[in-house]
Chains A and B, each alone.
Chain A
């Protein structure tokens, strides 16, 4: 076989696949979003933005991301740091921290439903402690705040692992000598973390934040399991337009909107946390 053709031959299946099932659907979704009954129109976006639920949906999704992602970043850094300093049981701790990585967002929602439900474990604990006389409705339609807190906790619980794993891998790339040198000069652990770990971890921080923010905009099943329709979010509304309201064009417009903010935030973090070529390790 001619060896010049071989790499292209090997890449063909994957490339064709991505063209048909990744690039083409995006053309389709854009087409659907900008047309109605065969003609070009912006009506789908107007219908989308005109819905009374739309501002609430956007606010909920962005607020959830803004609260969840920074907490996850801190927790992931904490997990990665304590694990790197552990002398025994390191791999066991890493495995346990990584468990939520394999858990579906729907399962995570159901897990936290077991805690926050009216007959759930939080109510049991509170009543055993004598704080409450009878079970509280944490997830009722009147308790938007507790639904929000429950969803945020479930999201933090579920998706911190993905950031942690990226950060642990990134920390492994930082040369030991830097820490040893800093120790010789008497730098405290905190100072070493601020002056060595954080700056050198920037590429990993960047990828983990981008990945996590995009996933945060896609939050869907956790909310469905815990809040039902009481906490509308972007993906849930898209699903609604597609099925309950049977309007594929507006659903496509929603999809493009989610896409646009995802790309917007990706570019934002690429810029803010950019890594100059010469400082890469």
Chain B
């Protein structure tokens, strides 16, 4: 990189100015992302009176009035529980169905492989939440309407393609020689998978499970279409948008955002690998 060094000696001022511009741009973009979230948190951590008052303060008063009103509001605790339940089921279903498929795609060449990949990629070109409409009728017939498992099945169509593609790339990254070595040492295929491959793939699988959880946790349209009594938090908030007071909305928004921030932080290492691969 001697060229770069020479250039930077030749034009130190220009380079310095460029660096400042770069840092300023990064800071500006970070503020653009973080400021709106901060303002929501300020609202959630203020008393109901402060939330509806004008003008507003730009700092939270750390009054938990809004949050306790939200938690004690009829239906909220149940909605939170439903959200967690549906998201957990979605996570289990999409990894349970997706990981074997990902493993098969990474380890075998077989007729029909391309067809399957096409089926998975095709799901990307469709507005999937719309599937909830015809399924609503089917679920009423089969008794799955307004149940956590029914909604989890729809959310799994959203999360499964990701689970397949992510686990596919995970398993592809583990050398097949490791598995073969285990076989020659007397392991069966299943043993080799359990003792050699699984421990190596587990962190990545956990990350894609968190990803599936987040997809379900955040989904609004299908949740609102398919649940009536057993609303998830998103469906609950959507349906009470018209009548609920501002402080309830903001506390609810914060309740949606905070877990999401934790999820994203937990999988930050895998974020780019996953999205980069899943979308190629």
Contact = CB atoms under 8 A, between A and B. Distances in A.
A103 B260 contact: yes
B62 interface: no
B103 interface: yes
A15 B116 contact: yes
A279 B133 CA distance: 42
Nearest to A109: B253
Contacts of A79: 29
Interface in A98-135: 98-107, 110-115, 117-121, 123-124, 127-128, 135
Interface stretch (A34-42, A49-57, A164-172, A191-199): A164-172
Interface in B98-130: 98, 100-101, 103-104, 107-108, 110, 112-113, 116, 119-120, 123-130
B220 A104 contact: yes
A262 B125 contact: yes
Interface in A11-30: 11, 13-15, 17-18, 21-22, 25-26, 28-29
B252 interface: yes
B218 A169 contact: no
B263 A102 contact: yes
A104 B218 contact: yes
Contacts of A272: none
B241 A25 contact: no
B260 A102 contact: yes
Contacts of B29: 75, 78-79, 82, 93, 97
B87 to A, nearest CB: 12
Interface residues of B, number: 98
Interface stretch (A65-73, A141-149, A205-213): A205-213
Given A86-B22, A169-B272, 11 more contacts: A14-B101, A18-B157, A29-B131, A96-B34, A103-B260, A106-B238, A166-B276, A207-B279, A207-B280, A221-B234, A259-B126
Closest 6 CB pairs between A and B? A169-B276, A110-B253, A104-B218, A28-B134, A102-B264, A10-B104
23 contacts: A14-B116, A97-B29, A104-B218, A104-B219, A110-B250, A110-B253, A110-B256, A111-B39, A121-B39, A127-B54, A135-B54, A157-B33, A169-B272, A172-B276, A217-B127, A218-B127, A221-B234, A225-B249, A228-B241, A235-B221, A248-B133, A262-B125, A262-B126
